[in-house]
Amino acid sequence: KPYLNKPTGSRSEALYNEALQHIVGGVNSPSRSFKAVGGGAPVFMKRGKGAYFWDEDGKRYIDYLAAYGPIILGHAHPHVTAAICRAAENGTLFGTPTELEVVFARMLKSAIPSLDKVRFVNSGTEAVMTTIRVARAFTGRSKIIKFAGCYHGHSDLVLVAAGSGPSTLGIPDSAGVPKSIASEVITVPYNDSEALEAALAHWGDEIAAVMIEPIVGNFGMVMPKPGFLERLCTATRRNGSLVIYDEVITAFRFHYGAAQTFDGLEAPSYAAIEPDLTALGKIIGGGLPIGAYGGRKEIMDKVAPLGPAYQAGTMAGNPASISAGIACLEALQEPGLYDRLDRLAASLEAGLAAAARAHGIALTINRIRGSLSTHFCNHPVSDYEEAQDTDGELFAHFFRSMLEQGICLAPSKYEAWFMTAAHTEQDIADTITAADHAFAKLKPY
């Protein structure tokens, strides 16, 4: 197995060995470690520009990681960079409200009409965590339903995995999450309306909210089946529970708006699938730390200082993040931008599929506009079980070979490839050539 964990003598390796002495696991987020792809030193990046970043040894990579989503414009986009510099010069934190927050709230509301009111926080985790608190405050109930394989950040309630069976009380997915908390969470399979309706029928008036990624980005890119979100909204509301959309990945990903306003969803109307609360993050920060949540006025008015649900933040709404977010959303309004991402991803999908076929590699590609996921298997992937039932070892070898050839993917078989506005047709062609080499080498395995 020639790619796995072979010493490279690189600066990344030296830095990693030192990082291990000081930073737990050598990384500040476990998803950055190479544990899932055979171990060893992750690549340490030094600088990025457009669709590329360069590691500590000066090697260039075409970047499909896009920092797990936020970097949709590419690295160091001039408009965003200028906004960040301006914010830095004017003072990065005041502990008072600023006009920027008002401007940005208005921008988000006009793109996502279900947001009567919003609150800015510092991460997707915080945004999701708070939507749950607010839903509980509003309904006076404590349980939530979530879907297997959806990731909603690392707060206690959503670090709960499915037990066995179609709809189950959760089991803690992390040490440190008490069983008492896990017992407040019911996990059902994605795209399974019957299981969801059964869970709602069983736990009925104990459910504060159903939390969902309206389009999945965390076990590959997975669309809800036609009618799934509509049935979810109808069934959830029938017993007085709220619908929460986690749009941390999906907002501004497929078009200038959120998944809830994306016409690729095949819903009868936006109103039929509109959530009560929405969590946002990633792209809306233009590459700086941010999160936001919002929704119906009467629900949001439960939040302090208007209401009894407490949520606060020293850094929340800071001028640097908000300025970067405004600049990012301004740049995303360039006519044709999302169609370009769509076209690039379509060429990449076609090229990857043809190369895999040519080498006899079973590969399922899920593509939604400018993002796609690759699954080493010969069946469709529409829920977590199907995403798990794929060849992780083949993926690890593919990942290593691509990295060696200067193509950077996320080091996990579950993560998506994200197109950025900076990628070119040439980048896509180079990526397909690299994939062809990688698939050729995969053959013996």
In three-state secondary structure terms, 371 is strand
Q: Which of 55, 192, 246, 276 is catalytic?
A: 246
Task: For residue 246, indicate whether it is catalytic.
Answer: yes
Q: How far is the CB of 198 from ligand PMP (least distance, A)?
A: 25
Nearest to ligand PMP of 65, 402 (CB atom): 65
Residue 278 interacts with ligand PMP (CB under 6 A): yes or no: no
Residue 217 interacts with ligand PMP (CB under 6 A): yes or no: yes
Answer for which of 249, 300, 303, 387 binds ligand PMP (CB under 6 A) is: 249
Per CB under 6 A, the segment of 82-90, 147-155, 332-340, 396-404 that binds ligand PMP is: 147-155
Per CB under 6 A, the segment of 166-174, 180-188, 190-198, 243-251 that binds ligand PMP is: 243-251
Answer for which of 41, 248, 277, 442 binds ligand PMP (CB under 6 A) is: 248
Widest pairwise Cα distance in the chain: 64
DSSP H/E element including 344: helix 337-358
What CA–CA distance (Å, rounded) separates 317 from 119? 8
Residue 131 interacts with ligand PMP (CB under 6 A): yes or no: no
Residue 252 interacts with ligand PMP (CB under 6 A): yes or no: no
What CA–CA distance (Å, rounded) separates 339 from 257? 14
Task: For residue 192, indicate whether it is catalytic.
Answer: no
Residue 295 interacts with ligand PMP (CB under 6 A): yes or no: no
Q: Which two tokens stand for residue 129?
A: 């965590």
Residue 70 interacts with ligand PMP (CB under 6 A): yes or no: no
Contacts of 112 (CB under 8 A, 6+ apart): 247, 251, 257, 258, 260, 261, 278, 294
Residue 151 interacts with ligand PMP (CB under 6 A): yes or no: yes
Residue 186 CB coordination number (10 Å): 25
Cβ-contact 153, 124 below 8 angstroms = yes
Residue 128 interacts with ligand PMP (CB under 6 A): yes or no: yes
Per CB under 6 A, the segment of 41-49, 124-132, 186-194, 393-401 that binds ligand PMP is: 124-132
Residue 75 interacts with ligand PMP (CB under 6 A): yes or no: no
Per CB under 6 A, the segment of 107-115, 122-130, 140-148, 167-175 that binds ligand PMP is: 122-130
Q: For residue 166, is the peptide bond before it cis, meaning its omega torsion is within 30 degrees of 0?
A: no
Answer for which of 13, 55, 197, 213 binds ligand PMP (CB under 6 A) is: 213
Buried b (16+ CB within 10 A) or exposed e, 127-162: bbbbbbbbbbbbbebebbbbbbbbbbbbbbbbbbbb
DSSP state letters, 100-143: HHHHHHHHHHHHSTT-SEEEEESSHHHHHHHHHHHHHHHHS--E
* Beta bridge pairs of residue 245: 212, 278
Q: Which two tokens stand for residue 105?
A: 């709230």
Cβ-contact 115, 336 below 8 angstroms = no
Answer for which of 33, 123, 321, 412 binds ligand PMP (CB under 6 A) is: 123
Task: For residue 270, indicate whether it is catalytic.
Answer: no
Residue with tokens 């979100």: 229
Q: Which two tokens stand for residue 123?
A: 């991460």
What CA–CA distance (Å, rounded) separates 409 from 121? 28
Q: Which of 3, 16, 64, 151 is catalytic?
A: 151
Which residue sits closest to ligand PMP, CB atoms considered? 124
Q: How far is the CB of 311 from ligand PMP (least distance, A)?
A: 15
Residue 238 CB coordination number (10 Å): 12
Per CB under 6 A, the segment of 35-43, 121-129, 338-346, 387-395 that binds ligand PMP is: 121-129
How many residues form the binding site for ligand PMP (CB under 6 A)?
16
Q: How far is the CB of 152 from ligand PMP (least distance, A)?
A: 5
Q: Which of 63, 282, 391, 414 is catalytic?
A: 282
Nearest to ligand PMP of 267, 290 (CB atom): 290
DSSP H/E element including 417: strand 417-418
Nearest to ligand PMP of 247, 276 (CB atom): 247
Site mask for ligand PMP (CB under 6 A), range 163-202, x = bound: ----------------------------------------
Q: Which residues bind ligand PMP (CB under 6 A)?
A: 68, 123-125, 128, 151-153, 213, 217-218, 246, 248-249, 281, 291
Catalytic residues: 151, 246, 282
